[in-house]
Structure formats: structure tokens, C-alpha cells
């Protein structure tokens, strides 16, 4: 993975054209990796993106005793979980990425005990673990939080009726995985419905689990015995958030491109809002979308909600598009209280945005102005890159480690669409136009 002490230099004014292929979903593959702990066998996960988060999860599994081989060239992970030697996931790795907390469920299911560090990751708001713990407690697990760790022990793990106050993706995944090897039937009410949960359920069912209802608000898991589980081969679903990001970039630059390897039904709400704004989107093949825009977009309002509502992970990108739209838009963030941190950076580019609690009121300006900005979290980082592509002049985007967490070959894919974008060391100072056709800059990464 490239050094985080780097920056992007971006020159605007180029409509993005061509085609781009979407990688495997980050939020799916990390959970599949955790689920591979359940069987005493070898599993193979395909369509795995090369991301820093995948590398962190690889470290987490290795610490537990799994043997992990990551073929980055072909995007294939082979995970041998036959000899898990530890039930302790330390804060060395877990504190770096919240998703790694989902090893709690499979460890409790297989080992009947777990010691997992409290999760970290992007600081976009309070993301409590109480739903995870209450669910495990309902199944007979004793859970304690001490010194930054969750300690869970289950002499007996029994199926239970569990109802979440609000849909929680992580808690749904943890309880679903723990209940695979529990005695009896577990019913998860008000379950999260994201496509990544469906992908996880398909992965587990292929292993020998008995899960019904994934993708609805009620998931039913009938427990099986350890010897009934086996390793599988499975291809990760495409990343709907990455797809939405490239759709936004093409529309922002008034471009015309084909987004390949995408599941359109995973983006129904987002696509509808883009059409409402005036973008042109057409399904030309079952997994290929044609996206374009030839005019200034129109204002619109939206509220982020759990799937199938408007995705919070695409909120910053939509706000960026609305910053130059006709009229006034209102964006309401209903899930995370700190997910407006990118507003300050958009202000620096000339956006007219006023925040009132969890609402952002956006009055479209004629154009954004290129400047130096800093990524505040993963999705805000992608939104700032899109803002730089649509702004007038040159921009510099820093703190790229956020983007590296969730976007595979981000700079190269944008370059393939014609963007003027290069990744350079943080202290790089070109003497002349870095984008001149006659100028070859040494050691620039894409």
C-alpha cells in the first residue's frame, strides 16, 4: 500500500470519459474474511480489492492463528482457519478499523469465548457496541468491557429472539455469525438489510449454515454443528459505494462514461436522486450503467437512512454535486453526528453551505475554486477529490490514508477516465506545470 505521506495534485476542466470497472465491496469482503473463522477448513474469497483495510483484517486473522495468503494481482484471498490458536484480537489492529470488530461473533461461535479490542476507524460519530453485546447476552454469553476490550464467554450459546432498537449493520453481522454455531434458532428482528449482509449470508450458507431472510428486516438462523461447516469459494459483490463515487465524478465533470461490474439494484435510491438532479443514467447491460451529464444540476433534498434508504456513505459526494446546483438543497444526516466534517473543506473551495445540527443547507454557487484540502474521513476524501475535479484551477488533496482504506487504484482509475490527477510525495514541488505533455515527472505515482 502506498505511503500515506503523499498528496494528490488535481487539475480540473476535463470531462471524464471512457469506462471504469468496479472492484469488490470493501464492506462485504472484510466480513467474509471474519466469517472464514467459523469452519475448521480453508476458504477462498475472490474479487478482493487491494485496500489498506483488507491488509489490516489480514493481520487480525493472522494474529488469531489463521494462515492467510493474499494474491493481490488476481484479487484472491486464501484463508486457512484449521488451527485457530487465539481468541484475542488486540488493539494493535482492531483500533485501526471498526470492521475488524466483527471477529467477535465468529470467535464466540467457534471458540465460545473472545477478547476483542474496542473498534476504531473513521471518526464520523458515535458507533456503540451495545447492540452487539446485548445480542450475545441474549444468547447466553457473558460480556464485560474492561481496559478497552470486550470480553465474551459462553458456556452454552443458545438461539434467541433478538430485536435491535435501530438497524445496525455490524451488530446484525456479528449476531448472525455467532448464531451459526449456536444451539437452536436465532431470530434477529429489525435487522440491517444491506446487500453486504446478503453476501455474507450467501457465503455462510455455502459453508453449511442455515440462514433465511437476509436482505429483509427479519433474519432467522438455525444453528448447525461445527463438523457441518466447510470451506468454500466465493466471489465478493461489487462495491456500490465505489460505483456511486465514479458516477458522481463523471456527472460532476459533465462527462460520459460506462460504469462496469455494478449491481444497479444496490443503487436504486442514489440513482433516483441523481436523475432528479438532471443527470442521465441508463442501464445498457445487466451490470453496465451509462452515466453522463451535459448541464448544470438542479437542487434536491435527501435524508440519509439505513438501506434501502439514501446511503450515508454517499452523502458527502451528493453534497459536493449540490454545491454548484441550481437552487437550495437540504441534506439531513440521520445516522452519524460527525459526518459533516467535509463542509469546512468545501467552504475553502467556495461552497455556500450552512450547517444547523444534522442539517446542511446548500445554496449552489456558480463554481468551486481549486485549493488545498485535507481528507477528514474515507468518504469525505473521495468527495473532495470529486470537488477538485469540478473546481476551477488546481487543487491539492492531503491525508490520503483515508482514501486508501476504501478505494482500489483510485488515482489510476480516474486517470483512465481522463482526469488530470497525480499522486506525489507530500513535499513534492514541481518547477512547472505538472500536467504538461512535455514534462515527465519522476517518481509520480498513479
DSSP assigned state of 324: T
Other Cβ atoms closer than 10 A to 173: 29
CA-wise closest residue to 381 among 414, 359, 332 = 414
Q: How far is CA 171 from CA 57, 136, 145, 189, in A?
A: 18, 10, 16, 12
Neighbours of 348 (CB within 10 A): 17
Sheet holding 302-303, edge to edge: 302-303, 328-332, 359-363, 352-356
Angle at 409 between CA 408 and CA 411, to 5 degrees: 130
Active site residues: 122
For residue 362, give the nearest of 315, 306, 292, 403 by alpha carbon.
315
**Phi and psi for 389 in degrees, rounded to 5?**
-65, -30
Q: What is the pTM of this model?
A: 0.94
Using alpha carbons, select from 39, 112, 34, 44 the residue that is nearest to residue 82.
Answer: 39
Provide the 3-class DSSP secondary structure of residue 353: strand
Distance, in Å, from the CA atom of 122 to the CA atom of 313, rounded to the nearest integer, reads: 12
The answer to whether residues 117 and 90 touch, using CB atoms and an 8 Å cutoff, is: yes
- The counts of H helices and E strands in the chain are 14, 24
> pLDDT value at position 335?
86
Domains of the chain: 6-23+239-425 (3.65.10.10), 26-235 (3.65.10.10)
- The answer to whether 117 and 157 have CB atoms below 8 angstroms apart is no
Cα 386 to Cα 252: distance, rounded to the nearest angstrom = 7
| Among the listed residues 337, 433, 423, the one whose alpha carbon sits nearest the alpha carbon of residue 381 | 423
User: Tens of pLDDT along 12-35?
Assistant: 999 999 999 999 999 999 999 999
Low-confidence ranges of the chain (pLDDT < 70): 1-4, 120-128, 431-433, 436-446
DSSP readout, 1-51? ---SSEEEEEE-----EEEEE--B-HHHHHHHHHHTTSSSSEEEEES----
CB 371 within 8 A of CB 349: yes
Within 10 angstroms of residue 108's Cβ, the number of other Cβ atoms is: 28
Cα angle for residues 415, 419, 424 (degrees, 5° grid) = 65
DSSP string across 184-196: SEEEEET----HH
Q: How far apart are CA 207 and CA 365, in angstroms?
A: 53
Q: Exposure string (b/e) for 401-428, b if CB count within 10 Å is 16 or more? A: bbbbbbbbebbebbebbebbbbbbeeee
Q: CB 30: neighbour CB atoms within 10 A? A: 27
Phi, psi torsion values for 186, nearest 5 degrees: -110, 130
Question: Quick check: 114 and 124 in contact, CB under 8 A?
Answer: no
In 165-296, DSSP assigns E strands to: 185-189, 210-212, 218-222, 233-235, 256-260, 280-285, 288-292
**What is the distance between the alpha carbons of residues 415 and 14, in angstroms, rounded to a whole number?**
11
Amino acid at each position: 500500500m502506498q505511503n500515506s505521506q503523499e498528496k494528490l495534485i488535481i487539475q480540473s476542466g476535463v470531462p471524464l470519459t471512457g469506462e471504469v470497472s468496479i472492484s469488490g465491496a470493501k464492506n462485504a469482503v472484510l466480513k467474509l474474511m471474519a466469517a472464514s473463522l467459523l469452519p475448521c477448513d480453508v476458504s477462498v474469497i475472490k474479487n478482493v480489492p487491494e485496500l489498506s483495510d483488507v491488509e489490516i483484517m489480514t493481520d487480525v486473522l493472522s494474529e488469531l492463528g489463521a494462515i492467510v495468503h493474499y494474491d493481490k494481482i488476481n484479487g484472491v484471498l486464501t484463508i486457512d482457519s484449521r488451527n485457530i490458536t487465539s481468541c484475542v484480537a488486540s488493539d494493535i489492529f482492531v483500533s485501526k478499523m471498526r470492521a475488524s470488530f466483527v471477529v467477535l461473533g465468529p470467535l464466540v461461535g467457534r471458540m465460545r469465548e473472545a477478547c476483542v479490542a474496542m473498534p476504531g476507524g473513521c471518526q464520523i460519530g458515535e458507533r456503540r457496541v451495545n447492540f452487539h453485546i446485548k445480542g450475545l447476552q441474549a444468547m447466553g454469553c457473558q460480556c464485560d468491557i474492561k481496559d478497552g476490550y470486550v470480553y465474551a464467554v459462553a458456556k452454552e450459546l443458545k438461539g434467541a429472539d433478538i430485536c435491535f432498537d435501530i438497524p445496525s449493520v455490524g451488530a446484525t453481522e456479528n449476531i448472525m455469525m455467532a448464531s451459526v454455531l449456536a444451539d437452536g434458532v436465532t431470530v434477529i428482528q429489525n435487522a440491517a438489510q444491506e446487500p453486504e449482509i446478503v453476501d455474507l449470508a450467501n457465503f455462510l450458507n455455502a459453508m453449511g449454515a442455515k440462514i433465511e431472510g437476509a436482505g429483509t428486516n427479519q433474519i432467522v438462523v438455525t444453528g448447525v454443528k461445527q463438523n457441518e461447516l466447510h470451506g468454500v469459494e466465493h466471489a465478493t459483490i461489487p462495491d456500490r459505494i465505489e460505483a456511486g463515487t465514479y458516477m458522481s465524478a463523471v456527472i460532476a465533470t459533465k462527462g460520459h462514461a460506462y460504469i462496469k461490474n455494478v449491481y444497479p439494484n444496490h443503487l436504486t435510491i442514489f440513482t433516483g436522486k441523481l436523475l432528479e438532479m438532471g443527470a442521465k443514467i441508463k442501464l445498457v447491460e445487466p451490470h453496465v450503467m451509462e452515466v453522463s451529464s451535459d448541464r448544470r444540476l438542479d437542487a434536491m433534498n435527501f435524508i440519509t437512512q439505513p438501506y434501502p434508504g439514501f446511503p450515508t456513505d454517499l452523502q458527502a459526494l451528493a453534497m459536493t454535486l449540490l454545491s454548484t446546483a441550481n437552487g437550495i438543497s437540504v441534506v439531513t444526516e440521520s445516522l452519524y453526528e460527525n459526518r459533516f466534517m467535509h463542509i469546512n473543506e468545501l467552504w475553502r473551495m467556495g461552497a455556500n453551505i450552512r450547517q444547523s445540527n444534522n442539517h446542511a443547507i446548500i445554496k449552489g454557487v456558480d463554481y468551486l475554486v481549486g485549493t488545498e484540502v485535507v481528507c477528514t474521513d474515507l468518504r469525505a476524501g473521495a468527495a473532495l477529490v470529486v470537488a477538485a475535479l469540478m473546481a476551477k484551477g488546481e487543487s491539492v488533496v492531503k491525508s490520503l490514508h483515508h482514501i486508501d482504506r476504501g478505494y482500489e487504484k483510485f488515482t489510476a482509475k480516474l486517470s483512465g477516465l481522463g482526469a488530470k490527477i497525480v499522486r506525489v510525495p507530500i513535499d513534492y514541488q514541481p518547477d512547472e506545470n505538472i500536467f504538461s505533455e512535455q514534462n515527465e515527472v519522476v517518481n509520480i505515482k498513479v
